[in-house]
């Protein structure tokens, strides 16, 4: 018999980054009647045992970085499409970020694929990528990765990008 449960513990913080003890969990063990695993009835006359488990302390940190992508809803095959990534530094210190566009089978990247920049505390960074669509339809732009170091560890987060509808060029307006 495998039991899986998920518990939520409300915690009140007095300062960000402090160690908080969520308390302990009491597990009551007792005999159950035979039957379906999900609908076993507890036998009232059976003895029971209670086990107490102290939960480990946790450190709660606020959001260190906020990402937002600005993607146009539509574009035209072969014409430039501007995608912008906005990185907000939510920390009280200056952080160096690396922004990198991943390769894509449906878009060509016009310009730099990767850039590094230092963002001041509570500041924002805007990075623009120029894409050229090489396919038509409802497409995902290339994935954009953000990398930085936090507390000596390498961190990485992918920016969520919406799909873009790429339509063929209007041939009736072209000379030829």
pLDDT of residue 57: 83
Written as six digits, the tokens of 57 are 């302390």
What pLDDT was estimated at residue 13?
Answer: 64
**Which of 42, 58, 46, 50 minimizes the C-alpha distance to 8?**
58
Mean pLDDT in consecutive groups of 10 residues from the start of the chain, 176 residues: 64 68 79 59 68 82 82 94 91 89 92 91 92 94 89 83 90 63
Cβ count within 10 A of residue 75? 23
* Cα within 13 Å of Cα(2), Cβ side: 1
Query: Tell me, what's the pLDDT at 41?
Result: 57
pTM of the model: 0.61
Distance separating alpha carbons of residues 79 and 30, to the nearest angstrom: 69
């Amino acid at each position: 018999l495998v039991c899986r449960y998920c518990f939520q513990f409300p915690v009140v913080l007095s300062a960000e980054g402090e160690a908080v003890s969520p308390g302990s969990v009491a597990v009551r063990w007792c005999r159950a009647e035979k039957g379906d695993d999900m609908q076993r009835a507890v036998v009232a006359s059976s003895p029971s045992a209670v086990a107490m488990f102290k939960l480990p302390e946790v450190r709660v940190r606020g959001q260190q970085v906020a990402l937002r992508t600005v993607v146009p809803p539509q574009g035209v095959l072969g014409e430039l499409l501007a995608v912008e990534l906005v990185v907000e530094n939510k920390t009280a210190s200056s952080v160096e970020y690396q922004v990198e566009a991943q390769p894509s089978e449906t878009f060509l990247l016009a310009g730099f694929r990767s850039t590094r920049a230092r963002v001041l505390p509570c500041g924002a960074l805007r990075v623009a990528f120029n894409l050229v669509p090489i396919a038509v339809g409802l497409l995902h732009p290339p994935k954009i990765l953000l990398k930085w170091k936090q507390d000596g560890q390498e961190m990485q987060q992918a920016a969520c990008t919406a799909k873009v509808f790429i339509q063929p060029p209007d041939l009736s307006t072209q000379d030829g």
